Amino acid sequence: MVKTSIKFNPPKTIKSVTIIGKNGNVSWHLQNAFSTIGIACTILSSREKFKAKDLDSDLIIIAVTDSAVENVAKKIKPKHSIIVHTSGSLDMSILRSYANNYGVIYPLQTLSKEKAIKFSEIPICIEGSSEEVMKSLIKLAKRLSKNVSRISSSKRLKLHLAAVFCSNFTNHLIGIAKEILEKEEISPDILNPLIKETVEKAKNNNPFIVQTGPAVREDYYIMQKHLSMLLEDEREVYEVISSKIINRKRQHEKTENK
């Protein structure tokens, strides 16, 4: 579809919302968040044929996997509606050919339907194709969250990368730790205070400076003992991260001694 050259002004106040992505985690949480501010959403499956009446909303949110966003956008024929995606890594310009008014609403949080959250505490990153679109999206986002920021596509991609390190990778490491304990019939819950303290310390300090453990001490005796107890893929993770901790510590000491 080629975008029409006719300019359609975006709605100044968003009063109606259509979310495309029926069974996704993001769409589920967005629907709940909108309901708390009195906006009922039309929810559509990305696989169905869209009806014009279902797309007659001020805001159309494409909440699907990154690879499916453009295919969904091609099926929409908006006029005044603002179309947004919710991806942390896709450039806003992916919607340029399919809408006059478009943007991004990116909630920076790990979301799953099994875990209730306070949406008002989630940072929401906003980008708009024009100042008018930006103002409309920010006005709406501020009703959903206390933490709303203008973030460009290039910065949002870096933000998404940082989120992968602090959330996805951390989650994987905690999963390995819990598996180690479960094999020994030790309750993984014993780690919870340590996890909490580690996160709190990292939040309030430079994580590299407050690093603890055998790697930062270069205690190779303990490290070899640990390695002997791990499966091959676990050893690989242990060795890579330990070497990075050691290198970072040595770089810091070198800088300090200059």
* Number of structural domains found in the chain: 2
pLDDT at 179: 97
Of 132, 151, 170, the domain-final residue: 151
Q: Are residues 37 and 133 in the same domain?
A: yes
What is the domain-level CATH number for residue 246? 1.10.1040.20
Q: Is the pLDDT of residue 183 over 60?
A: yes
In this predicted structure, which of 35-39, 44-48, 58-62, 245-249 has the lowest mean pLDDT?
44-48
Contact criterion met (CB below 8 Å) for 101 and 81: yes
What is the domain-level CATH number for residue 71? 3.40.50.720
Rounded to the nearest angstrom, the gap between the alpha carbon of residue 185 and the centroid of all alpha carbons in its chain is 34
Of 105, 127, 151, the domain-final residue: 151
Q: Is the pLDDT of residue 141 over 80?
A: yes
Is residue 207, in this structure, part of any structural domain at all? yes
The terminus-to-terminus CA distance of the chain in angstroms comes to 60
Is residue 2, in this structure, part of any structural domain at all? no
Is residue 234, in this structure, part of any structural domain at all? yes
Is residue 244, in this structure, part of any structural domain at all? yes
**pLDDT tens string 102-130:** 999 999 999 998 888 899 999 999 999 99
Q: Are residues 58 and 114 in the same domain?
A: yes
Question: Average pLDDT for residues 143-158, to the nearest whole number?
Answer: 98
Structure tokens at 204: 């309030």
pLDDT at 6: 55
Phi, psi dihedrals of residue 151, rounded to the nearest 5°: -135, 125
Considering the entire predicted model, what is its pTM? Answer: 0.90
Q: Are residues 161 and 147 in the same domain?
A: no
**Helices of type H across the chain:** 25-36, 69-74, 131-144, 153-163, 170-183, 192-204, 214-217, 220-228, 232-256
Is residue 9, in this structure, part of any structural domain at all? no
Q: Are residues 208 and 233 in the same domain?
A: yes
Written as one string, the DSSP assignment of 103-124 is: EEEEE-S---TTS---GGGS-E
Is residue 5, in this structure, part of any structural domain at all? no
Q: Are residues 121 and 200 in the same domain?
A: no
| Residue 37 CB neighbour total at 10 angstroms | 11
Task: List the domain range (segments joined by +) for residue 32.
Answer: 17-151
Is residue 251, in this structure, part of any structural domain at all? yes
